[in-house]
Amino acid sequence: MSHIGVIMGSDSDYKIMEGALNVLSQFELDFEVKISSAHRALERTVDWVKAFEAQGGKIIIAAAGLAAHLPGVIAGATILPVIGVPMRSGALEGIDALYSIVQMPPGIPVATVGIDAARNAALLAVQILAVQDKELSLKVKNYRVQMLKDVEAKDEAMQKRLSEGVKGTHV
């Protein structure tokens, strides 16, 4: 059973959404991936949402660009949490998708991350699941500790480079 469903409106979204899939894999979570369209394949999309929910799915990450109706249509078809990922595209470079996803009508929320922020969508999904899963919660905490270590290592390397010859103010 997949706890997380990842759906995108087009195969062109895959390059960005692959970041989400990598995060979900890193946390050893099962996920299901689908391409469907709120406009071109409405019944197919809603059928997938209903089937995903019926088989025990917990969270849906939905990516879409331009008018970006996919996350909202999905949210209207289920009570599962939906995380929208606005995709950079078109003349407005994803701003239209961001507004479309974040400005849902009252009663049908869609959690929204930044434009092309697929990794953050996956991390949010992981954190939601971790609320009721102690093992997953520990993995999230360890992930955060590793991020801190990475920052400290980068700072240490920069300080070393600075001390070896770059003039200026050192902090």
Q: Which domains does the chain carry?
A: 4-132 (3.40.50.1970), 134-171 (no CATH)
State the pTM of this model. Answer: 0.90
Q: Render the burial of 62-92: b for 16+ CB within 10 Å, e for the rest.
A: bbbbbebbbbbbbbbbbeebbbbbbbebeee
Query: SS3 of 83, please?
Result: strand
Contact of 32 with 57, CB cutoff 8 Å: yes
Contact of 9 with 37, CB cutoff 8 Å: yes
Please give the helix or strand (H or E) that residue 72 lies within, else none. helix 70-77
pLDDT at 65: 86
- Per-residue pLDDT in tens (0 to 9) along the chain, 171 residues: 679 999 999 999 999 999 999 999 999 999 999 999 988 889 999 999 999 999 999 999 999 988 889 999 999 999 999 999 999 988 888 899 999 999 988 999 999 999 999 999 999 999 999 999 999 999 999 999 999 999 999 999 999 999 887 665 555
